[in-house]
Amino acid sequence: NFMCFENFEVKEKVIDTAGLLGSSSGLAVVDCSASSETVEILMQAIDLGCCVVLANKKPLTCKIDDYEKLISKFRHIRYESTVGAGLPVIASITRVLASGDPIFRIIGSLSGTLGYVMSELEDGKLFSQVVNAAKGLGYTEPDPRDDLGGMDVARKALILARLLGWRINLDELKVESLYPNELGPSSMSTEEFLTRGLQSLDSYMADKVRGASLKGNVLRYVCVIEGSRCHVGLQELPKDSPLGRLRGSDNVIEIYSRCYKNSPLVIQGAGAGNDTTAAGVLADIIDLQDLFL
């Protein structure tokens, strides 16, 4: 992991070590931060022969030209934990594509935080209470507004769309936020948002959940990648649909391709949390060993 990589001396140390050990030992640089500033140092590390493992989504959601540079040595970079934490989402999609089977639709619930929050709201709990609980359980981003604003899901959607070969940028995605601008990072700190800002949304969210429930529906934050559309937002879905049945921090992703046309390939399970995320990172590191046998 990096230790404050904005610091010039630390950057130099990482690059020196990468230069010394990169090509001879297959040194893996692991980025488990939530920073968008690491992309340059990761590209340098790869150029010096290192491998890169990411739990951090942000380097993969930089501008398309930098993204293409970052993944140009695609066998040297692994990022399974960026989507669905330890669930084998990237690996499965990569295998389907490698077999020549074109994927034409992906739909899923890809936020452990929003899945947990929505299912807890159905049980009558307060929005502010369940968002704070999700943070305590290790599901949220360091600033939970990344989750509630839809940007964390949008990043995952972009990572998947780019894996399918789409040359798009984050600002081309349609993203629905669950909080208004007045509660954004330019108006208040994360702490203020958690203690004060969130409470102002309690009754609005309770009404939304109640409105859906009266129609036999539940709310789920959904990601759709299809045709030329890639969008993420809240949807009202039947309680007994695959997405509607999700509980807690579970993610579900349905992948439609020529082989999985009528009955999609479905991946479901815990999609957030320290254990499963760390397991995904570890599996990536171990997987990279094959390059050096």
Q: Which of 271, 276, 281, 288 binds ligand LTNE7NMQ (CB under 6 A)?
A: 271
Judged by beta carbon, residue 147 or residue 284, the one nearer ligand LTNE7NMQ is 147
Is 156 marked active-site?
A: yes
Site string for ligand LTNE7NMQ, 129-158 (x = CB under 6 A): ----------xxx-----x----x------
β-pair partners for 105: 226, 256
Closest to ligand NDP by CB, 5 vs 127, is: 5
Catalytic residue among 156, 208, 215, 261: 156
> Measuring CA to CA, how many Å separate 157 from each of 84, 108, 142, 220, 231?
11, 9, 20, 15, 8
Residue 78 within binding range of ligand NDP, rule CB under 6 A = no
Nearer to ligand LTNE7NMQ, 111 or 235 (CB): 111
Residues that contact ligand NDP, how many (by CB under 6 A)? 24
Binding mask 68-107 for ligand LTNE7NMQ (x = CB under 6 A): -----------------x----------------------
108 binds ligand LTNE7NMQ (CB under 6 A): no
Is there binding between residue 111 and ligand LTNE7NMQ (CB under 6 A)?
Answer: yes
| Cα Rg of the chain (Å, integer) | 20
Which candidate, 144, 77, 65, 67, places its Cα nearest to that of 111?
144
List binders of ligand NDP among 160-189 (CB under 6 A): none
Binding site for ligand NDP (CB under 6 A): 2-6, 32-35, 55-57, 81-82, 85, 112, 138-139, 141-142, 272-274, 277
**Residues recognised as catalytic:** 156
